[in-house]
């Protein structure tokens, strides 16, 4: 055993280096790793500590099954059952690009959706007239209904529902809804 220690010799060396007050060999005195401290009670969201000493169990007196935070945004707009088929749709992103952005790379624009300002939802509605289309846009949900089709679409990004623009193309029977995306300011969007 050139230059190598046997495991028993290494254990003896550790015992010699340990301070005298840590001589106990019981399992309770040994440090416990963070993984060993996990229990079934650790599953789920962390419980909030109430520093005022009030009882959290009597927070509300309603018969609601879910809290408002647990319901997905836009779920209240969905129909439970609608026999109409969902039309074909496509989501396209638009951004304002200048020649400095394109050729000189002077701006911070990238081809990703993080640099886009608008979202265009193109819905194909064959056999439909413009007068038959009902459209409702919320911050994260688009609802398009016709006598033959139903589209309830959760939008991938929040939009400004008040400044949207819809355009009907009668030849291709396509509804194009242009929506301005609302983004938090970050290094891409300022």
CATH of the domain at 105: 2.60.40.790
Q: Which residues, 6 or more positions from 145, have their beta carbon under 8 angstroms from its beta carbon?
A: 84, 133, 134, 135, 151
4: β partners: none
pLDDT at 135: 92
pLDDT tier, 28 (very low <50, low <70, confident <90, very high otherwise): low
Residue burial 142-176, b: 16+ Cβ < 10 Å; e: rest? bbbbbeebbbbbebebebebeebebeeeeeebbbb
Is residue 2 domain-resident? no
pLDDT tier, 91 (very low <50, low <70, confident <90, very high otherwise): very high
Is residue 4 domain-resident? no
pLDDT at 168: 94
Is residue 124 domain-resident? yes
pLDDT at 9: 77
Is residue 144 domain-resident? yes
The total number of structural domains that make up the chain: 1
Is residue 135 domain-resident? yes
In the predicted model, is pLDDT for residue 25 greater than 60? Answer: no
Domain of 159?
Answer: 86-180
Q: Supply the pTM of this predicted model.
A: 0.57
Rounded Cα gap, residues 39 and 68, in angstroms: 28
pLDDT tier, 82 (very low <50, low <70, confident <90, very high otherwise): confident
Q: What percent of the chain has pLDDT over 90?
A: 23
Is residue 102 domain-resident? yes
Out of 16-25, 61-70, 172-181, which region has the weakest mean confidence (pLDDT)? Answer: 16-25
């Amino acid at each position: 055993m050139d230059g190598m220690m046997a495991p028993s010799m290494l254990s003896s060396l550790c015992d010699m280096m340990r301070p005298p007050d840590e001589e106990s060999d019981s399992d309770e005195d040994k440090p416990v790793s963070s993984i060993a401290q996990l229990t079934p009670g650790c599953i789920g969201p962390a419980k909030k500590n109430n520093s005022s000493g009030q009882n959290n169990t009597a927070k509300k007196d309603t018969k609601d099954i879910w809290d408002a935070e647990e319901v997905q945004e836009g779920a209240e707009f969905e129909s439970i059952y609608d026999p109409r088929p969902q039309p074909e749709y496509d989501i396209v992103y638009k951004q304002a690009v200048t020649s400095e952005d394109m050729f000189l790379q002077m701006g911070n624009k990238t081809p990703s959706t993080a640099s886009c300002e608008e979202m265009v939802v193109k819905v194909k509605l064959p056999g439909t007239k413009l007068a038959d289309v009902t459209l409702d846009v919320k911050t994260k949900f688009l609802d398009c209904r016709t006598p033959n089709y139903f589209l309830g679409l959760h939008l991938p990004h929040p939009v400004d529902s008040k400044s949207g623009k819809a355009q009907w193309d009668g030849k291709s029977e396509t509804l194009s809804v242009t929506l301005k995306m609302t983004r938090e300011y970050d290094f891409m969007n300022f």
